């Protein structure tokens, strides 16, 4: 069976970015088909390797890996050969040659390179987190977040999440809509990790009207009506009171100003822990 789309399964005991970049560089030399890369980071045992290989078998995919542990490299090679999967050990041969020319044994410690610029990678991880768990896309992010932002539509939840991400803080945000029950995960975490955002009805009305016009829609939609806005804000206030979480007023405030207040709250909570 051929693999017309050039599907590649990437495994790593760290982020796997090195392997992904190498595969992309190689794939750019071919014009046929679209390469699909499935990355599996932080694999630390043979069970994890086996699970990925089983998925790769279904698509007759190529397997690439950057394991520093010799046992995981050898196990991956054996499995790929057993199931006749094309494979490439990206890191192993280079490490072996370095060991020969330097007469020094490798540390065999995953993520050493990443630790050279840990702040950079923490920021990247936080940005990826903010994108993945933006606008309540996946409520599971609530349980993993450093902070969860709540508010009705157009209260700067997404810009604030991204701003915090650049400060290496993993932020998830959840929109509050009267017709949709808040995710149960909100009630399973410390309410001090949740921060509500509120805004004056008049400014929200103005922001929503401008948003509708920017989208080429009329500004008479119920989305921008004062009746709807008051209903949403009342509902949001009720939810926030029920959660007993801190609430920040964002009316006439720049994202940086609100973020500064957010960071103060986060620092205070960390100091009290």
Distance from the first to the final alpha carbon of the chain: 56
Residue 63 annotated as lining a ligand binding site: no
Residue 12 annotated as lining a ligand binding site: no
Residue 155 annotated as lining a ligand binding site: yes
Give residue 110's pLDDT: 61
Give residue 156's pLDDT: 95
Q: Is the pLDDT of residue 261 over 60?
A: yes
Structural domains in the chain plus CATH codes: 8-115 (3.40.50), 118-272 (3.40.50.300)
Q: Which residues pair with 31 in a beta bridge?
A: none
Give residue 255's pLDDT: 92
**CA distances for 11 relative to 8, 27, 56, 144, angstroms:** 10, 17, 11, 23
Give residue 167's pLDDT: 92
* Dist. CA 106–CA 82, nearest whole Å: 28
* Dist. CA 51–CA 64, nearest whole Å: 14
Residue 154 annotated as lining a ligand binding site: yes
Please list, in sequence order, all residues whose beta carbon lies within 8 angstroms of the beta carbon of residue 266, skipping any fewer than 6 positions away: 146, 147, 169
Which helix (H) or strand (E) element contains residue 47?
Answer: helix 46-59
Tell me the three state secondary structure of residue 83. coil
Q: Is the pLDDT of residue 44 over 90?
A: no
Give residue 72's pLDDT: 92
Tokens representing residue 189 in the block: 């975490």
Give residue 77's pLDDT: 95
Give residue 29's pLDDT: 84
Tally of helices (H runs) and strands (E runs) in the chain: 11, 8
Quick one: what percent of the chain has pLDDT higher than 70? Answer: 93
Q: Is the pLDDT of residue 265 over 60?
A: yes
What integer is the mean pLDDT of 168-194?
A: 96
Q: How confident is the model at residue 257 (pLDDT cuts 50, 70, 90)?
A: very high
Which helix (H) or strand (E) element contains residue 66?
Answer: strand 62-66
* Dist. CA 221–CA 78, nearest whole Å: 61
* Dist. CA 133–CA 63, nearest whole Å: 28
> pLDDT by residue (tens digit) across 10-36?
999 888 888 888 998 888 888 655 788
What integer is the mean pLDDT of 244-271?
A: 91
Average pLDDT over the chain reads 89
> pLDDT by residue (tens digit) across 51-98?
999 999 999 999 999 898 889 999 999 999 999 999 999 988 888 888
Q: Which residue has better confidence, 119 or 136?
A: 136
Residue 247 annotated as lining a ligand binding site: no
What integer is the mean pLDDT of 148-163?
A: 96
Residue 123 annotated as lining a ligand binding site: no
Q: Is the pLDDT of residue 183 over 90?
A: yes
Give residue 225's pLDDT: 94
Rounded to 5 degrees, what are φ and ψ at 195? -130, 120
């Amino acid at each position: 069976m051929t693999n017309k789309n050039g599907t590649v399964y990437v495994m790593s005991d760290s982020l796997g970015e090195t392997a992904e970049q190498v595969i992309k560089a190689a794939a750019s030399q071919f014009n046929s088909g679209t390469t699909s890369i499935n990355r599996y980071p932080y694999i630390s045992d043979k069970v994890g390797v086996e699970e990925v290989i089983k998925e790769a078998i279904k698509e007759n995919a190529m397997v690439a890996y950057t394991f520093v542990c010799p046992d995981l490299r050898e196990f991956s090679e054996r499995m790929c050969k057993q199931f006749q999967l094309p494979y490439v050990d990206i890191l192993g041969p280079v490490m072996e040659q370095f060991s020969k020319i330097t007469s020094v044994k490798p540390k065999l410690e995953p993520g050493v390179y990443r630790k050279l610029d840990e702040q950079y990678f923490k920021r990247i991880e936080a940005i990826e987190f903010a994108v993945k768990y933006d606008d309540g896309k996946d409520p599971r992010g609530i349980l993993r977040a450093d902070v969860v932002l709540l508010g009705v539509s157009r209260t700067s939840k997404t810009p604030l999440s991204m701003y915090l991400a650049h400060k290496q803080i993993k932020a998830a945000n959840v929109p509050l809509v009267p017709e949709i029950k808040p995710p149960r995960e909100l009630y399973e975490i410390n309410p001090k990790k949740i921060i509500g955002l509120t805004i004056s009805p008049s400014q929200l009305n103005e922001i929503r009207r401008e948003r509708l016009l920017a989208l080429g829609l009329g500004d008479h939609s119920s989305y921008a009506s004062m009746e709807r806005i008051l209903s949403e804000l009342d509902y949001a206030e009720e939810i926030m009171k029920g959660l007993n979480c801190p609430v920040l007023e964002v009316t006439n405030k720049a994202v940086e100003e609100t973020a500064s207040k957010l960071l103060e709250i986060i620092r205070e909570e960390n100091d009290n822990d």
